Chains A and B, each alone.
Chain A
Amino acid sequence: MDAVSPKSLSVRIWRGKDDGRFETYEVPARDNQTVLDVVTEVQRRHEPALAYRFACRVGVCGSCAMTVNGVPRWTCRTHVAKVAEAGEITIEPLRNMPRIKDLACDMAGFFDKWQKAGGRFTGTRNRAEPPAAVDPASRKRVAVDAAIECINCAVCYSACDVVSWNEEYLGPAALNRAWTLVNDERHALRRTTLDLAMEQGGCGNCHTQGSCMRHCPVGISPTESIAGLKRMSLLSFLVRDHAAADALAKTEEPA
């Protein structure tokens, strides 16, 4: 059982769509309470119609991100004690995506951009063939050790100022995904992914300012992934028709 402390928390939550308003709710302050716990408590006790998203509650699914006191965060892994200011928290939907209702926003555009950045995996083997043996110590695999941990939460996308002023920009998460694919020796279309990530709306727009890296809850640096894509694109041009370009363009032969 949660220990109910005498103190309470004042929670301002965005209600409605773009022309909505903040409503304030009083919720008991509890030990080890997360922001998602607070939202759930408001929905159960005060506002049954409150719309918000979550699934795993343990930082795996990436569905619970919201703006908490002005900062994009995964709410299921954010302790109230860490973010409350004088017993108050303000919770809004993420930035840079159309609002649907209350704390839920429409992520379709965000995921469409993953496709635009060449984020769809295309395999080189069929199911009858043995799976590729990727050496965990290989240079390409090590280069994406962090990047592949992305949980698709859109916190970085919400944190990125370039996304907010250029709606074409594919954003940190989609480009981070592209970076994992251009380094994936099982991916057949590495050259295509690299070119798509460098096209209109792609890597060239990044200001390398690092808001994405600063806010990513799992510690990924999309900034670094984008820099990697730029480097790879430049290199593949300089050593055109040589080994690097070949390695990128060709599909892997089964080992």
Chain B
Amino acid sequence: MSERGLFLAQRLSALLLGPLVLVHLAVILYAVRNGLTAGEILARTHGSAGWGLFYGLFVLAASVHAPIGVRNVLAEWTPLSKGTVDALAALFGAFLLVLGARAVFAVVMA
């Protein structure tokens, strides 16, 4: 992908992440306030297409957004070659995607 493409992907994913993170935090505060246990929370999220979609999108946006930033940091602060940096960033993105997908699966389906 071109530099411009990566720049756009990073900005657009940030645009998505902004509201998603806010809702995520608000839900945490709301759920914890009334002392819900993890089990009770999971009971409510299981089978919910809405939460599945919400966190699915969250995971996607995060695994696009974060690796692009990490790529910049690696390129500027390490002597690694461009190819290595790109590969590491892609790996990191894939890692986030897998971790995130597992979590979403656990929250809404497992």
A positions within 8 Å CB-CB of B: 162, 165-166, 195, 198-205, 230, 233-234, 237
Whether A233 contacts B3 by the Cβ 8 Å rule is no
> Looking at chain A's contact residues, is the secondary structure mostly helix, strand, loop, or mixed?
helix
Residue of A nearest to B75 (CB): A166
Whether A198 contacts B4 by the Cβ 8 Å rule is yes
Q: Report which residue of A162, A165, A202, A234 has the largest number of chain B beta carbons within 10 angstroms of its beta carbon.
A: A234
Partner of B4, one of A165, A166, A199, A205: A199
Whether A200 contacts B7 by the Cβ 8 Å rule is no
Whether B8 contacts A233 by the Cβ 8 Å rule is yes
Count A-B contacts at CB 8 Å: 33
Contact partners of B76 in chain A: CB under 8 A: 162, 165-166
Instruction: Answer whether residue B109 sits at the interface, using C-beta atoms and an 8 A cutoff.
Output: no
Q: Shortest Cβ distance from B101 into chain A, in angstroms?
A: 27
Partner of B11, one of A162, A165, A202, A234: A234
Partner of B3, one of A166, A199, A234: A199
Instruction: Answer whether residue B2 sits at the interface, using C-beta atoms and an 8 A cutoff.
Output: yes
Docked Cα-Cα span, A195 to B12, in Å, equals 18
Docked Cα-Cα span, A165 to B11, in Å, equals 24
Contact partners of A230 in chain B: CB under 8 A: 7, 11
Partner of A233, one of B7, B72, B75: B7
